[in-house]
């Protein structure tokens, strides 16, 4: 098979590039484009031979794109205009401008790419931007599928529900086996939207998957966590942890102030768990909704620590909580849970806070690799 020429837009730290490698599809990335200087330093560190353009997409002309002569576009446009925590400005958000520029250029390319893969947050599927995307693809003659999928569907113990669109320039339907979740009742079940000429989408109610509050959680939340931990199709967290000899655990322990203030809303997992919540760019700086923390002391029962915790003085509360030895996942461990291979690394000068930030903006490599195989098969 001849190598496919791939254009990687919004390339970040190279998650799409690693997914291409993992998919086994013969490819050549002809250009990676991003304006994030920290992400670009990490990308260049890991892919020194790939042409990396540190410029705005709107600053690249139609002739520039035509000269690249690419067969595939991979892209993960800015998610802030669509995220539930953002203002949901959609097309009015200035950060959507580059994506609209791509959609404007696509029909005018001298040769349409054979394949397109796009990733974004949950919420994109009901945006005007998505309607504009679908309209453009249909006018260009693409067949496509839209999928909501979380890494738990491919056996990874991390929730990261994301929207994907895969398209090919063919009137044949995309066919193949998609990864399926273990339980059809899971809130992260894989959902395929079939496209209609109206361009509207109606996602199911079961796609809700947000941050779960520990000890302030509902019975339903507790039941869901238990079900996830009993799902033997998902691997245990301990498979993704760094060897204790490689980690100075003291650097990652939650500070006393954080323990006292946020104890009741921490999402705590053990090495034997088969679940963790989505890691965001605020992990390590903010607590609520940014990712799970790991219990390192297994001799201490979590239930005993939390039982009647509010009845104790601050000093007694802290002593009880410290027994659990709660720590943040290291950036390497977060990268492991996001499917990045062991060959992936950060340049030495990139600070831990920056590492968490760029990982939180990235995607799950294993999920994308599986979708690429489906798209090209």
Phi then psi for 119, rounded to 5 degrees?
A: -125, 145
Phi then psi for 146, rounded to 5 degrees?
A: -115, 135
Residue 123 is predicted with a pLDDT of 87
Q: In this structure, are residues 60 and 10 in contact, taking their beta carbons and an 8 Å threshold?
A: no
How far is it, in rounded angstroms, from Cα 307 to Cα 215?
9
Residue 355 is predicted with a pLDDT of 98
CA of residue 15 relative to chain centroid, distance:
9
Q: Which tokens go with 47?
A: 């892919």
How far is it, in rounded angstroms, from Cα 74 to Cα 32?
10
How far is it, in rounded angstroms, from Cα 88 to Cα 58?
22
Q: Over the stretch 74-127, which tens digit does the pLDDT of each residue have?
A: 999 886 654 555 555 665 666 678 999 999 999 999 999 999 999 998 888 888
Residue 107 is predicted with a pLDDT of 96
Burial class, 40, CB count within 10 angstroms (exposed 0-12 / middle 13-18 / buried 19+): buried
Residue 129 is predicted with a pLDDT of 87
> If you search the block for the tokens 């446009």, which residue do you land on?
77
Residue 208 is predicted with a pLDDT of 33
Residue 27 is predicted with a pLDDT of 97
Q: Which residues are tagged catalytic?
A: 79
Largest Cα–Cα distance in the chain?
71
Q: Over the stretch 148-206, which tens digit does the pLDDT of each residue have?
A: 999 999 999 999 999 999 999 975 555 555 543 333 233 333 444 433 333 333 333 33
Which residues, 6+ apart, have CB-to-CB distance to 45 below 8 Å?
A: 345, 346, 347
Q: Which residues of 353-374 are buried (b: 16+ CB within 10 A; e: fewer)?
A: ebbbbbbbbbbbbbbbbbbbbb
Going from the N-terminus, what domains does the chain have, and what CATH number goes with each? 4-210+360-376 (3.40.50.150), 219-359 (3.90.120.10)
Phi then psi for 167, rounded to 5 degrees?
A: -135, 145
pLDDT tens digits, the chain, 377 residues: what are they?
Answer: 689 999 999 999 999 999 999 999 999 999 999 999 999 999 999 999 999 999 999 999 999 999 999 999 999 988 665 455 555 566 566 667 899 999 999 999 999 999 999 999 888 888 888 999 999 999 999 999 999 999 999 999 999 999 999 999 975 555 555 543 333 233 333 444 433 333 333 333 332 333 333 566 777 888 888 899 999 999 999 999 999 888 898 999 999 999 999 999 999 999 999 999 999 999 999 998 899 999 999 999 988 898 888 889 999 999 999 999 999 999 999 999 999 999 999 999 999 999 999 999 999 999 999 999 999 98
């Amino acid at each position: 098979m001849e190598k496919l020429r791939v254009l990687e837009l919004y390339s970040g730290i190279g998650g799409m590039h690693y997914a291409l490698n993992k998919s086994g599809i013969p490819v050549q990335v002809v250009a990676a484009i991003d304006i994030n200087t920290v992400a670009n330093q990490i990308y260049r560190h890991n892919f020194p031979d790939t042409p990396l353009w540190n410029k705005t997409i709107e600053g690249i002309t139609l002739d520039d794109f035509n000269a690249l002569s690419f067969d595939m576009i991979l892209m993960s446009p800015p998610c802030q205009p669509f995220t539930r925590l953002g203002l949901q400005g959609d097309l009015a958000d200035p950060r959507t401008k580059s994506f609209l520029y791509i959609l404007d250029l696509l029909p005018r390319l001298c040769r349409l790419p054979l394949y397109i893969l796009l990733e974004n947050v949950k919420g994109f599927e009901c945006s005007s931007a998505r309607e504009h995307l679908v309209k453009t693809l249909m006018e260009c003659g693409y067949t496509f599928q839209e999928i909501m999928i979380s890494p738990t569907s491919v056996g990874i113990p991390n929730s990261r529900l994301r929207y994907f669109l895969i398209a090919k320039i063919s009137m044949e339907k995309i066919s193949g086996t998609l990864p399926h979740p273990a339980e059809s009742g899971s809130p992260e079940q894989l959902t395929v939207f079939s496209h209609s000429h109206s361009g509207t989408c109606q996602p199911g109610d079961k796609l809700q998957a947000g941050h779960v509050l520990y000890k302030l959680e509902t019975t339903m939340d507790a039941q869901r966590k238990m079900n996830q931990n009993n799902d033997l199709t998902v691997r245990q967290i301990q498979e993704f942890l760094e060897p204790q000899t490689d980690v100075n655990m003291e650097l990652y322990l939650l500070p006393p102030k954080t323990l006292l203030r946020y104890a009741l809303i921490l999402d705590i997992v053990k090495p034997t768990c088969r679940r963790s919540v989505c890691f965001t760019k605020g992990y390590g700086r903010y607590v609520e909704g940014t990712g799970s923390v790991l219990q390192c002391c297994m001799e201490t029962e979590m239930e005993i620590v939390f039982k009647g915790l509010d009845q104790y003085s601050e000093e007694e509360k802290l002593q009880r909580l410290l027994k659990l030895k709660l720590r943040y996942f290291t950036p390497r461990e977060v990268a492991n849970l996001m499917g990045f291979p062991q060959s992936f690394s950060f340049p030495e000068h990139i600070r831990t806070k920056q590492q968490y930030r760029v990982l939180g903006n990235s995607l799950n490599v294993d999920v994308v690799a599986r979708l690429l195989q489906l798209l090209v098969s």
